[in-house]
Amino acid sequence: MGETGEVVTDPSLPFRPRVAAASLSGASDAAWAKSAAPSVGAAVLGGLAVDEPTRTAARTMVEDRDREEFLPDDPLAFAEQQLAEVTDMSIVPGLNVRGRTLEPLRRVADVCTVHDAICEINAHCRQAEMCDVGAGQSLLREPDRLAAQVATAAEAGATVSVKVRTEVPGVDVPGIARKIEQVGADAIHVDAMDSEGVVAEIVAATDLFVIANNGVRDRGTVREYLAYGADAVSVGRPSDRPVVLDRVRDATDAWFGEPMEGGR
């Protein structure tokens, strides 16, 4: 890991500044990333449903509950177009992907590889429609299926992150972290909920690059996660608020002692 004695060999990691803008379904597109770019080192677009089971779930979420979702006619073309728009920006791009089946994931991972983008597998979404089709948070309860997704993306040559959440009954997040590391994951993006100390457990259990998420708003929240050993933090819902991003960036720069102009 970047700051805990291990060498991170992937050129995308660590990104600088050590702040990521985290994906927000239906909102995190190239224009959003461009707006956040002055204050972040990475921006994760998506989430993008990439196969028919997850696209059906996303359509139901839009139609029945008026949620925002990306539902382009061609998810692969959308991924290509969106990542092409951010390729020349001074940030590491990423794409958060929700899928049930492996072949669509492999194709999207190929696109991520071409654009030097992080392919972030979504094992985080807790919407019932996604979980019912075997995507999102449900993958945490089926670690072999999650591992297969990680291996598929890694074999395509992508930098692979997995976004997870804590406080899922019966799920050992540090154990999940060890498993995904063994099959090729480079990073884990942890929505720590109210269990911030899990970050330290993951740091102790793996050499993954750890991005900590949930409630990151200011110097205090940044320092809490970084004190647990996180390599970076991410900002979710306030990612469209420059004043919040600037506060978080200043705090991470001060912690790591590496004020930057941004970029890789």
Average pLDDT over residues 163-172: 97
pLDDT in tens, 198-236: 999 999 999 999 999 999 999 999 999 999 999 999 999
Identity at 184, one-letter amino acid code: G
Strand segments, DSSP code E, in the chain are: 19-21, 42-49, 92-98, 118-123, 159-165, 187-191, 209-213, 232-235
Residue-wise pLDDT tens digits, 46-75: 999 999 999 999 999 999 999 999 999 999
Cβ-contact 165, 191 below 8 angstroms: yes
Among 136, 119, 148, which Cα is nearest to 61's? 136
Quick one: pLDDT at residue 256?
95
As a whole number, the mean pLDDT across the chain is 94
- SS3 category, 90: coil
pLDDT at 9 over 50: yes
CA atoms within 13 A on the CB side of 103: 2
Inter-residue contact 135 to 53 (CB < 8 Å): yes
Per-residue confidence (pLDDT) for residue 10, from 0 to 100: 74
pTM of the predicted structure, to 2 decimals: 0.94
What pLDDT band is residue 88 in, cutting at 50, 70 and 90? confident
